[in-house]
Structure 1
Amino acid sequence: MSKERPILFSGTMVRALLDGSKTQTRRVVKPAPQMVTDNTITTWDGHPAALQYQLERMGKGCHYGQPGDRLWVRETWRGIVKTSAPWDDCTTYGVAQYVPDQAECRRIEYAATFGEGAKGWRPSIHMPRWASRITLEITRVRVERLQDISDADCVAEGCGALPSAIGCPMTSVPGETVPRTMFRALWESINGPASWAANPWVWAVEFRKLP
């Protein structure tokens, strides 16, 4: 039986999900895979397929799910509710000052498409299931080193041909392709400046957006 789990995305990546340009996401394998050799614990440095087998065998598979499972997207949002008092002649609406119940909301607005400069936005981590507008179905899950990502996979991560696609500054490296430069900049903007160089093991999750 398939399962359903929440997953957080930034506004830039939500827009990529909406236009269909993002069909993959990479998330760090936690805790970091280790192996024991002669009573010495070291970072796992074996074959990705072998590591994935070992993780799944130990019940430590990808906690985002497996093929067939669904992910509902959490993003920055706000609820619009009725603000006029019962005795007012007209009905007005405004941004809720708290996280409202579904029955109280007249509509949901999303920062990714409405504009993050406005006020009253709720953090994505506080988005309830009923407010989510995007559901993804996982089609493939694999484990690999972060820097093993291909140019095609960089594009599938939502990195298009222009720097504006990732919504953050990027600095090119000699010999590095544009998609790879964009993905590296995106990754470091989310995970920190040293996160790319650390080259962690990651879950590469492929998905399709459901209607």
Structure 2
Amino acid sequence: MSIKPILFNTEMVRAILDGRKSCTRRIVKHDVEAILNSPYHKEHPEVEDEQIISKLCIPPYQPGDILYVRETFIQAAANIFWYKADDKLWMSKDLLWKPSIHMPKKAARIWLKVTDVRVERLQEITEEQACMEGTDPWDEACYENNGWHPTLSDPDSGGDPNMIDGFHKLWNSTIKKSDLDYYGWSANPWVWVIEFERCERGGVDER
């Protein structure tokens, strides 16, 4: 077991706090095409691509790892931290928030235990997995292809949201515009699928 940091943007931190997010996808940062065209692959054509990538690439996390979430924050006092995801009314809009990458471990308030790690293509995500990613079911992207839009007065006016379409938008919002051709939804990159559950600070299960 290792204790490692993991970064989430403000929207995803809120999804974790709300209990809507228990999974994240991260780009496989290896030359996957070279791996799939490697001598090993040619010698073992019966082995699935996912198995070869899992064998020859090192995932960023392993089942059992404990992760502390780095999020946008500010240090208000010696051992007092405020978090942008809380969005309290008393928080000034002019606060000089610090990027999540700079958050020290001692400021972490969200701890996660990795329960599963696997590799797959981005577009292989299912509706259930899109929900586990923290996709907002009220996002208009979930309804653009349904021909209807729910309203607060009549949320059941037409059908269920398409969570994969919502995740498509969510994923692209996390990718730099210059990288969309390589890592965006349409590029269908290989990703690590990392499932997790909340735990106490240091890794002790809440249950």
Q: 1:50 to 1:5 in 2, by over 3 A?
A: farther
Distance, in Å, in 1 between the alignment partners of 2:141 and 2:49 is: 32
Q: Does structure 1 conserve the Cα–Cα contact (< 8 Å) formed by 2:142 and 2:163?
A: no
Distance, in Å, in 1 between the alignment partners of 2:12 and 2:54 is: 28
Residue type at the aligned position of 2:3: E
Name 2:30's counterpart in structure 1: 31
Distance, in Å, in 2 between the alignment partners of 1:5 and 1:61 is: 15
Name 1:191's counterpart in structure 2: 175
Distance, in Å, in 2 between the alignment partners of 1:78 and 1:174 is: 40
Give the stretch that moved more between structures: 174-183 or 198-207.
174-183
> Superposed, which structure 2 residues align to 1:48-63 within 5 Å?
50-58=48-56, 60-63=57-60
User: Which structure shows the higher strand fraction?
Assistant: 1
**TM-score normalised according to structure 1 size:** 0.73
Alignment pair present for 1:111 and 2:84: yes
For the aligned residue pairs, the C-alpha RMSD in angstroms reads 2.6
Runs (5+) with no aligned partner, structure 2: 40-44, 148-160, 201-207
Name 1:5's counterpart in structure 2: 4
Report % sequence identity. 37
Q: Does structure 2 conserve the Cα–Cα contact (< 8 Å) formed by 1:52 and 1:61?
A: no
SS in 2 for 1:191: coil
**TM-score normalised according to structure 2 size:** 0.74
Distance, in Å, in 2 between the alignment partners of 1:178 and 1:185 is: 12
Distance, in Å, in 1 between the alignment partners of 2:133 and 2:193 is: 10
Runs of 4+ aligned structure 1 residues displaced above 4 Å come to: none
Given candidates 134, 142, 145, the residue that maps to 2:118 is 142
Q: Does structure 1 conserve the Cα–Cα contact (< 8 Å) formed by 2:16 and 2:22?
A: yes
Distance, in Å, in 1 between the alignment partners of 2:146 and 2:123 is: 14
Distance, in Å, in 1 between the alignment partners of 2:21 and 2:5 is: 17
Q: Does structure 2 conserve the Cα–Cα contact (< 8 Å) formed by 1:146 and 1:202?
A: yes
Name 2:155's counterpart in structure 1: none
Given candidates 166, 169, 180, the residue that maps to 1:182 is 166
